């Protein structure tokens, strides 16, 4: 069973991503969080094979969530992360220095998302 965390403040995006990924892979445990703060709490309790996060969210942005995970002794400090955001150009220089991180610009291209997911999930 592979654990995936999807973080987005828009429930329809979480549902869309869950449906796309769930249709392509078997034996997935897909959890979600509406913001980086709740995602961080979940990341302290369960090891994820893949984390997919938006950037602009209330309480804690995706970038702040990633930094907090990477800078602390979090069990997911090395987990692969895909950032899906319409604001990639604004944050690209800030995330390009982080390891095991991929990014996709919105509007999302399903083929590219699945390419990253296959690369990450099939390598584990």
The model's pLDDT over 35-68, given as tens digits with 9 standing for 90+, comes to 999 999 999 999 999 999 998 998 899 989 998 9
> Per-residue b/e over 43-77, b at no fewer than 16 CB within 10 Å?
beeeebbbbbbbbebeebbbbebbbbbbeeeeebe
Q: Partners of 51 in the beta sheet?
A: 5, 81
Q: Which residue has the higher pLDDT, 6 or 100?
A: 6
pLDDT of residue 100: 82
Q: CB within 8 A of 2, min separation 6: which ones?
A: 25, 27, 28, 29, 49, 50, 121, 124
Which residue ranges form the domains of the chain, and what is each CATH number? Answer: 2-121 (3.40.50.2300)
User: Are β-strands 2-7 and 101-105 bridged in parallel, bridged antiparallel, or unpaired?
Assistant: unpaired
What does the pLDDT read at residue 103?
Answer: 86
């Amino acid at each position: 069973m592979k654990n995936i965390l999807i973080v987005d403040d828009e429930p329809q995006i979480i549902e869309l991503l869950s449906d796309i990924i769930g249709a392509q892979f078997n034996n997935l445990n897909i959890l979600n969080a509406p913001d980086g703060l709740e995602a961080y709490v979940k990341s302290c309790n369960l090891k994820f094979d893949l984390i997919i996060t938006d950037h602009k969210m209330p309480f804690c942005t995706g970038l702040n969530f990633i930094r907090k995970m990477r800078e602390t002794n979090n069990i997911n400090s090395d987990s692969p992360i895909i950032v899906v955001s319409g604001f990639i150009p604004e944050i690209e220089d800030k995330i390009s220095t982080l390891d095991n991180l991929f990014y996709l610009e919105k509007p999302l291209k399903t083929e590219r998302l699945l390419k990253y997911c296959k690369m990450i999930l099939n390598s584990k």
